[in-house]
Structure formats: structure tokens, C-alpha cells
Amino acid sequence: MVRTPTVCPFCGCGCSFYLVSQNERVVGIEPSIANPVNKGMLCVKGWNAYEFIHSPDRLTAPLIRKHGALVESTWDEALKTVSERLTDIKSRYGPRSMAFLSSAKVTNEENYLFMKMARAAFGTNNVDHCARL
Ligand code: SF4
């Protein structure tokens, strides 16, 4: 068994734990007792924060809906599509027709940039965060 220290990817609390791996596969989690944030404890999300790592359902490329079906694409095409569609919605229906919902799984800095994009680039104050759902 190999124990690798890391930080939980599920929210901004910053709990830490060891990923326990065997034969190049992550097989479990051990909470860090030394970390002052979680002191050896984890919530249910933290305890299960490794199950997606080897999942065959894990997305490895962006998907774009085309004619009703999700089609694998490149990041360049996906970002271009999102940019064009958001710009189109804004010009057709106005900035108040849009809302931006951010994520606890990204950093504070990324959440800040997301908020700035919503307000400065798209002109809407409709910004929220998944922690309030
Ligand atoms: S274990 Fe739970 S509370 Fe701690 S960082 Fe992960 S999701 Fe957040």
C-alpha cells in the first residue's frame, strides 16, 4: 500500500487525506490527523473522493449537443461554441436573461474570475454558487 497526501477536491474547506493505492490503483482514503482543518475527520464526500478516479464513465473530452445528441469535441471547439452561444443569448435577450452558477470544486481565484466574467464581460449580476443550492 502507498499513501499519498493530498487535499479533498470536493469543496473549499481544505480537508486533507491520504490516497491509499495498491498496484497503481487508488483503493481508499485515510483522513489526515495532523491537518488542523479536519483533524482526522471527513464528511461523506471526502470519504468517497476517490471513487471517480478509475471510473469508466469519467469524461475525458468535452461534449457538445448536436442535433439532440452529445458529441465528443476538442477544447477549442467547445470553448468557441460556449463563447458564441453566450454572446448570442446576450445580444438577443439582454444580460439579465443570463445567470452564472459557479462551483465549490474550483479555487477562490477561479470563482473570482468567473464572477468578473459574468459582471464585466456579460453585464449581469446574476451570479451564484453551488454552495447555496
Ligand atoms: S471532506 Fe467534506 S468538508 Fe472536507 S473538503 Fe472534502 S467535501 Fe469539504
Span from the CA of 93 to the centroid of ligand 1 (angstroms): 38
CA distance 100 to 121: 12
Asked whether residue 56 is assigned to any structural domain, the reply reads no
Of 36, 2, 35, residue with least CA distance to 19:
2
16 and 40 Cβ atoms separated by less than 8 Å: no
Query: Domain limits at 125?
Result: 70-132
Atom 8, ligand 1: residue with shortest CA distance = 11
Instruction: Report the CATH number at residue 7.
Output: 2.20.25.90
Taking only the tens of pLDDT, the chain with its 133 residues reads 999 999 998 887 889 999 999 999 999 999 999 999 999 999 999 999 898 899 999 999 999 999 999 999 999 999 999 999 999 999 999 999 999 999 888 888 999 999 999 999 999 999 998 877 6
Span from the CA of 29 to the centroid of ligand 1 (angstroms): 13
State if pTM tops 0.75: no
Same domain for 75 and 126, yes or no, is yes
**Closest by alpha carbon to 46, among 103, 7, 8?**
8
Residue 60 lies in a domain: no
Residues 122 and 79 both lie in one domain: yes
